[in-house]
A and B are shown apart, each in its own frame.
Chain A
C-alpha cells in the first residue's frame, strides 16, 4: 500500500484574482512505504508547492493527499497531527534554530507532540546520532556551531519527531562536496535503519542519482516523469529541454550511445569505467 498518495492534486495561487497561477496541475503520485523518492524540476516547476501540500501546510485547491489511505484534510482540526507524521525540512533550516542549546532545539518538535522531557531527550540524542552530531555539541548554543553542524542540528529537530515520511527541500544547498556527501549518506542510512519513507527535493541530479529509488520530474506544474533514476536520466535530452541537466558522466554516456556505442546512461564514474573497460579492451585488439 502507498504510504502517501497524491490524487489529481491541483494548487492555484491567488485564485479569482488577476494574478491567478496554477502551480501544481492535476498531479498523481503514489509513494511506497520505505521508498526514497527524489523530486527534481527547475525553479517554478511546482515542486516546492507540491511538497507543502503533503503535510497540510497548503490545502489543495482540488484533489486529495492520502496518508496511509486517509485524506489528510478529512478532519481539518487534526491537521497538526499530520505534521508530526510527515516531517518537513525546509531550505536553509538552520535559520530556524532558536533555542539556548542544541539539545533543547532538537527537543522542540517532540515536546510539541506532548512527550515528557525524558522521552524528548532520548529522541533528541538518537536523532543527533543519526545526523552525526557528537554528544559534546548538544550542550552548546546553536549559534556556536559551524554551518554544516547547524544544518545537521535543524534536520535532527525534524527527525526527532520520528515522522513516518521525511521530506527534505534542498538539504545540501551551500554545503561543500564533503559536507554534501556526508549528509546524503546519513540520510540514506536513516532511511535504511528506520525503514521510513524519504522524499528529497534537489537541483542536484548527482545527489538524486546517488540516493533515490525513483525520481519524480516536475515541469510547469505537471508530473512529467516518475520512474527509476536510471530510466529518468536515460531521457537526458528531454530533461535538458526542461532546463534540467543530467550528471556530466551520464551526458558522456548518452553521447556515446547516440554515436552508436553499446553503453548505458549510467549515473556514476564507477559504473562508466565498468562499462567502458571491456569495450576499450576489444578496441585495443583492433588490427
Chain B
C-alpha cells in the first residue's frame, strides 16, 4: 500500500516537474542579466584608485595645480560613468541578452535569479581606465 502511494506521489512529482519544464522555455525566451549599479557608479575600487592617483599628484604642488588635478580627477570619474552604459551593452551583446536590470529592480520584479554580470562590466571599465594617466599627455 505504502509502495503504491509513494509510486503515485513520485508520478505526481514527475508531472509537476514536467509542468515546470514545459513552462521553462517561456522564461528562457528572455535572457535577463543583472548588475549592481550602485557599486559600478560609486563603489568600485577603480574610483579609489583614481582618487589615490590624484592625491599622489597633488603632493607638494601649489594650489592652482592642485585644483587642476582635482578637476582632472572629476573628469576621469565622469568618463568612467559615461563609459558604464557602453560596458553594460558590450557584456549584454556578448551574452546575447535581452535585458539588463539593476539588482534592486530585478529583485522587485522577481528576476533576482538572473545571472549577475557586475564583475564583467567592472573588468571592462578597469581595463579601459586603470592604466590611463590622470591628465592626457602626462
Q: Does B bind A?
A: no
Mark B residues whose CB is within 8 Å of A: none
Mark A residues whose CB is within 8 Å of B: none
